[in-house]
Structure 1
Amino acid sequence: MQSQDVVPPSPASSAAGPVVGVEQAEAALVEHYPRLVRLAYLVLPSGRGRSRRVLTAHSLVQRALPRGRTPAPPIPAQRAGRDGDPGYALLRLQVLRTALGRGARLPSPLPRVWGLKLFPRSGGADELALDQRLNALSGPARAAHALRGLERLPDGDVREVLAAAGVADVDAALEEADGIPDPYRLLDSPEFDPCALQARPTDLLRRRRRLKAALVGGAALAVCGTLLALPGDGWGPDGAAAPPYARNPAAQAALDPGKLTRVSPTAWRTSARTDFSVWPARGDRTGDTALLRRALAVWARPGEGVRVSATPGTPSGGPAGPPRLLYAGTVDTARVVVLYDGLRLARYAEPADGTQGAVLDLARVDGAGRAGSSAVVLSRVDGNVRYLLAPWVREADQRDLREPGSQATALTFTDGVTSPLASPALRSGPCASWNVLRLTDGTGTRLVTDLGELVPAHLTAGRPGETREASGAGALRTWAPYACSLSAMRSAGVRSVNAWAFAEQPLPDESGEAAWVCTRAETWRGDGARVLAQFHTPGGRLGAVAAKAESAPACGEREPRVLAGVLWKSGSGTWYLLAAGSRDLASVRATGGVEGSARGRLLAVRAENGARADLKGTLENGRSIDGLN
């Protein structure tokens, strides 16, 4: 059955071009296989589940190979390496025709990989938002967006390709695709790469039960039918979860909504701890047993249609025992449940009108103190985010981190749920502002920011070991030029980010004084810290990243020192190598493409544009440190 958006190609759209042999088509398929599969994956609807969508995309491309010599369409191939390749143009057209046709049919049970679930690596909040927007489009509109962004085709060529693929209303498809605001760069993300896959086993016990069922025949089928009909068990009550594990007391207790731990609303006032363990259960659905059962079941065994994300280093699998209930309620257009098992937070969300499209997010929060457990992201919709605040938070407002002198805007919150505020994690395009959440409780005021995770990152400022909250006037001025660099730390499991102004440097040619700042992002897992050394010149709005490092001790409590350099062009057109280090450096030396040395922690040497140099500093105690790359 044809979709109403797709019709068989007309003779005009199928006019003969160069004849493509099977060998030529096979060579094009082998060479461009990853791009063709990515194109099919983008055009297919996401409602079928990520694993099924991956397998279907590979199947469509592998079946696109013609059986014999076939006229290629007179349509230009994708630019940058595929111009003049009729084999690629033929395969692309066949993939689009089949993907658009399949988008209107029920998913086939084949192809299938027995024993494994395959799905692409999860991207960040931007990729998730784009995938949701694409799924809301028709198949032809998704194809138009992919041809524009992935294939880099102008609209005239896009029209020809869609018409040849059998799209009935090309203008409507292009107009619908215009509604996607996201940059095309996201189409190259690992989120949409069905050739770079993660593999997870299907439910092993479920497979074992199937084998036993085949051996015992009809008797086992009758038993299974009886079990599926019982309340509280089986597929139906668990919504988007996979079929259940074998029954054992510990597993059953962890999945029983009646055994969820609920804390008194005043427990945090007298507890020796102030973390997620003393959050009370809030929301208008804390008594919705069916919703809580679905959330627990999906946490333990998410079905193929569930979008699962986890911060790096977060263990997978369900809770070992009954977790704490922190929230269950309706937020915007979704039903949301937030649970805590002492190590992780789990947020389950499903549409208000069903369970199709359910989402499960997991995040490590072990060792979270007062600052790390002040807020949890409840929802992200239309570029806005809502938080669930800790019971000890008295005031909440938002402010622009790029404007240290601006006034903060108060936020209302009811039952701990804030009014929506713009999220920098969902924004695309140039960074004109960076909204942060300011929270005040009985111990002080702190700033946190959304980096696309379940828990916002805590912002601080100052020398490692002597850091302070970033909410003060001086700390805000330190952060202002570097706020946009936080985008480089999204979706990395970041727990906190510190900005340390480690040096000021007079510029050559009497150009004023530059500032050096080191921003260090610590993660919940303890390793994998991200370090950026940034350089800011007078009059500039934004700092420039001069050097960066992963999993390095620099700018941290273990190594509260740093040395970095940058090539800088003066107003007179002269290039210099500028280098600066922390206060206990006795000398700095540059070797390689630029030679020079200086006493103290500052270095300025004439250089050529594009020159590269190695930096080494000597501390006052004689120990040497290398410059960040």
Structure 2
Amino acid sequence: MPSLRPSRPTPRTRIAADTTEAALVEQYTALVRLAYLTLPTSLSRHRRVLLAHHAAQHALPAARTGRVPRPRGADGPPGAGADALRVQVVRTALAAAHRPAWWPGSLRPPRTLLPRLPVVWGLRLFPRAGGADEVRLGQALADASAPARAAFVLRRVDGLDGERVALLLDAAGVADAGAVLREAVGLDAQAGPAAQALLHSQEFDACSVQTRPTDLVRRARRRRAAWTAGAAAAALVAAALLVPAGTTPDPAPGTAGAASPVLSPGRLARTAPDTWADTSRVDFTAWPARGALVHDDALLGRALDTWAAPSDDVRVTASPGTATDAPPRTPQLLFAGEVDGHQVVLLHDGERLARYTADEDSGKVSLDLARADDADVTSGATVVLARGDGAARYLTAPWIAESTVRDLLRPDTPARPLHVSRDGVTDAVPVAPPGGCDKRPVLQLRSSSRIVEHHAFVVADLGGLSPVHLTYTPLPGAGRPPRQPREATSTQALLAWARTACRVPSWGGGGVRAVNVWDFAEQDLPQNGGRAVWACARADSWRGPGDVTLLLRTPAASTTAPARVVGRAENTAACSRFGQHVVAATRWRAPDGHDYLVAAGSRKVTRITADGAVDASKPGRILAVPAPEKGTVRVTARLDTGERLAEVGAARD
């Protein structure tokens, strides 16, 4: 494929000032959207909104004096003024990834002490939330690089062709515009035909925003503290003038070491006990405050102060992609009580869970933070309250009507009942040991019929604050539409997970939201080797990116024999809604001792080809050919659309 980046200096056209000014007014919303989606996804939505408007509003001066690239042979394409603005917006948005940490509101160090416009005081801005489709598209965009996001928007929203996009990226300083454009084309294929309409939705429109105040209580306290400090300073000055030399005034009683709390326990949000049964938003916002210490203001004040400004002796942990700053608003109280000799407070600020734990004997304090945005009836069903001595206690959601425990490595053993207190705290449940694979205990929960009928699901403790939702996608049926993930409670699902559980990493740092095992193909092995199933175990994180493990389940004497790992890939869309096509391969030794290369693809694969130490090609979704014991083999597949598909995460020795 020829490179889309110009091989010689790109012709450029100087644009008249009135042209760019008119283009800025006409294209302002599109420019802000381009900047908003190109900016680093690690920034908060409020900051991205402000920086997006900043990028659009400050694009005009540079665009007036700059030159816009044009394809060779063109005298000056229409829309050149808009192209000049696009170049500046993309350049500014890409530069945001390298902004100084000490100047959070600007894209570059300030020339004065005043931040560059726009500036918003006292309010937080964010686009209106969209539906599940918008969330999935947002996760796919978060997985892509910033230049690829810019190219994707230029193609899908602005309707520019590939050559024009590559030229604009090149002018914006992107090192390899051709490679970035190819990444954007892949993202375009993953997103599907609905992406154009989704990109115009309010989820990605930084010009149509909602407003919320910053923490009003904190602001009021800061104002009072400022007035108090000013009055105290004035009093000290007056006292210094009035007290005779050589004497020192006595301190006011009760003022030594006093400090007003950053957040007030009396302002903590508390949800009514039955809210969960009368709302369409069944997540952490529907949890009531539970526990014997929910009215202990001293404990709650310590928990809030620790979250707002933890001292050096507090152990703070956060799952990947979770901010550790103070809550932007007064949080919601979920639990406060004693658990296994610890005082535990669980808080929720709308986007994160915070667990404050104080050891009553040693006095040690810890603060654990984890993402919880976009939680639902399953991912918001449990939280780990305490973990130690090979066991954990959980706090279950108010909509959980039945709690049981089962071992994934014993699919034929029924789940046993788990006692839960009136406050929703479970008895101690064993956790998977750090080494070996003797047991994989999980919780099997059932939702109340007040919100959904006959809904049971499985969650597993993989080291995070929230247990991970386990699902299963069965083999595709002939002539049927693709299967969707379903709860891992059926016999078929439990048998698949029994051979997968020991191959799923522990993810000790947390951050994983759900793991789905997708059986995408089955194959009769050579030499009467039996029937094998190809599977992809995908772990989706709360922040969006996902990791996959490709597995081959060959016939085995035990129903829990671990499947063979044939590949791994990190930060990929493979095996998700945006990566529905997959091909995998591995070497396999037949009972007679001969080696074979076996490969299989998902339902849209029409041909599999092997190059290198094995040279073979076969129509269909499976391949099995003799292979040498060693030697590099590259496997690709052809889809029914004609597109070429590379193997995911090859791992063959």
Partner of residue 558, structure 1: 578
Task: Describe the SS at the equivalent of 2:552.
Answer: strand
Residue of 256, 272, 286 corresponding to 1:229: 256
Runs in 1 of length 4+ with deviation above 4 angstroms? 216-219, 221-228
Residue identity in the other structure for 2:489: S
Q: Which runs of 5+ in 1 are unaligned?
A: 1-114, 116-204, 235-243, 245-251
Question: What pairs up with 1:346-365 in 2 under 5 angstroms?
Answer: 346-353=354-361, 355=363, 357-365=364-372
Q: Quote how far apart the aligned CAs of 1:612 are.
A: 2.4
- 1:283–1:342: structure 2 CA closer, same or farther, 3 Å change rule? same
Q: Quote how far apart the aligned CAs of 1:391 are.
A: 0.3
Q: Quote how far apart the aligned CAs of 1:480 are.
A: 1.3
Partner of residue 349, structure 2: 341
Residue of 293, 315, 320 corresponding to 1:285: 293
Q: Quote how far apart the aligned CAs of 1:390 are.
A: 0.3
Partner of residue 31, structure 2: none
Preserved contact between residue 354 and residue 367 of structure 2 (Cα < 8 Å): yes
1:588 and 2:608 equivalent? yes
Partner of residue 441, structure 2: 435
Task: Describe the SS at the equivalent of 1:399.
Answer: strand
Alpha-carbon separation, structure 2, partners of 1:385 and 1:449: 11
1:534 and 2:542 equivalent? no
1:422 and 2:449 equivalent? no
1:36-56 alpha-carbon deviations (Å, 9 max, x no partner): xxxxxxxxxxxxxxxxxxxxx
Alpha-carbon separation, structure 1, partners of 2:510 and 2:569: 14
Alpha-carbon separation, structure 1, partners of 2:419 and 2:323: 34
1:524 and 2:509 equivalent? no
Partner of residue 86, structure 2: none
1:58-94 alpha-carbon deviations (Å, 9 max, x no partner): xxxxxxxxxxxxxxxxxxxxxxxxxxxxxxxxxxxxx
Partner of residue 447, structure 1: 458
Residue of 373, 378, 384 corresponding to 1:371: 378
1:546 and 2:553 equivalent? no
Task: Describe the SS at the equivalent of 2:496.
Answer: helix
1:405 and 2:412 equivalent? yes
Question: What pairs up with 1:183-332 in 2 under 5 angstroms?
Answer: 229=256, 233=259, 252=262, 255-332=263-340
Preserved contact between residue 589 and residue 617 of structure 1 (Cα < 8 Å): yes
Alpha-carbon separation, structure 1, partners of 2:351 and 2:648: 34
Task: Describe the SS at the equivalent of 1:319.
Answer: coil
- 1:489–1:593: structure 2 CA closer, same or farther, 3 Å change rule? farther
- 1:625–1:593: structure 2 CA closer, same or farther, 3 Å change rule? same
Preserved contact between residue 463 and residue 506 of structure 2 (Cα < 8 Å): no
Aligned length: 396
Partner of residue 499, structure 2: 481
Task: Describe the SS at the equivalent of 2:350.
Answer: coil
1:500 and 2:535 equivalent? no
- 1:429–1:488: structure 2 CA closer, same or farther, 3 Å change rule? closer
Preserved contact between residue 501 and residue 517 of structure 1 (Cα < 8 Å): yes
Q: Quote how far apart the aligned CAs of 1:438 are.
A: 0.5
Task: Describe the SS at the equivalent of 1:277.
Answer: helix
- 1:596–1:223: structure 2 CA closer, same or farther, 3 Å change rule? farther
Partner of residue 186, structure 1: none
1:619 and 2:639 equivalent? yes
Alpha-carbon separation, structure 1, partners of 2:604 and 2:483: 15
Partner of residue 100, structure 1: none
Residue identity in the other structure for 2:407: D
- 1:610–1:348: structure 2 CA closer, same or farther, 3 Å change rule? farther
Task: Describe the SS at the equivalent of 1:418.
Answer: coil
Task: Describe the SS at the equivalent of 1:556.
Answer: coil
Task: Describe the SS at the equivalent of 2:299.
Answer: helix
Q: Quote how far apart the aligned CAs of 1:228 are.
A: 5.7
Residue identity in the other structure for 1:369: D
Q: Quote how far apart the aligned CAs of 1:225 are.
A: 8.8
Q: Quote how far apart the aligned CAs of 1:471 are.
A: 1.2
Q: Quote how far apart the aligned CAs of 1:489 are.
A: 3.8
- 1:223–1:606: structure 2 CA closer, same or farther, 3 Å change rule? farther
- 1:589–1:383: structure 2 CA closer, same or farther, 3 Å change rule? same
Preserved contact between residue 511 and residue 542 of structure 2 (Cα < 8 Å): yes
Partner of residue 599, structure 1: 619
Question: What pairs up with 1:92-171 in 2 under 5 angstroms?
Answer: none
Alpha-carbon separation, structure 2, partners of 1:484 and 1:281: 36
Preserved contact between residue 488 and residue 494 of structure 2 (Cα < 8 Å): yes
Preserved contact between residue 462 and residue 506 of structure 2 (Cα < 8 Å): no
Residue identity in the other structure for 2:373: D
Q: Quote how far apart the aligned CAs of 1:272 are.
A: 2.4
Residue identity in the other structure for 1:628: V
- 1:223–1:422: structure 2 CA closer, same or farther, 3 Å change rule? farther
Q: Which runs of 5+ in 2 are unaligned?
A: 1-101, 103-221, 223-228, 241-247, 475-481
Q: Quote how far apart the aligned CAs of 1:472 are.
A: 1.7
Preserved contact between residue 481 and residue 543 of structure 1 (Cα < 8 Å): yes
CA RMSD of aligned residues (A): 2.7
Residue identity in the other structure for 2:420: F
Preserved contact between residue 465 and residue 557 of structure 1 (Cα < 8 Å): no
1:98-128 alpha-carbon deviations (Å, 9 max, x no partner): xxxxxxxxxxxxxxxxx9xxxxxxxxxxxxx
TM-score (norm 2): 0.58
TM-score (norm 1): 0.60
Q: Quote how far apart the aligned CAs of 1:428 are.
A: 2.5
Alpha-carbon separation, structure 1, partners of 2:293 and 2:521: 53
Partner of residue 97, structure 1: none
Task: Describe the SS at the equivalent of 1:313.
Answer: coil
Residue identity in the other structure for 2:550: A
Task: Describe the SS at the equivalent of 1:508.
Answer: coil
Residue identity in the other structure for 1:515: V
Preserved contact between residue 463 and residue 507 of structure 2 (Cα < 8 Å): no
1:335-359 alpha-carbon deviations (Å, 9 max, x no partner): 100000000000000112353x211
Alpha-carbon separation, structure 1, partners of 2:622 and 2:301: 62
Alpha-carbon separation, structure 2, partners of 1:335 and 1:465: 45
Alpha-carbon separation, structure 1, partners of 2:617 and 2:281: 52
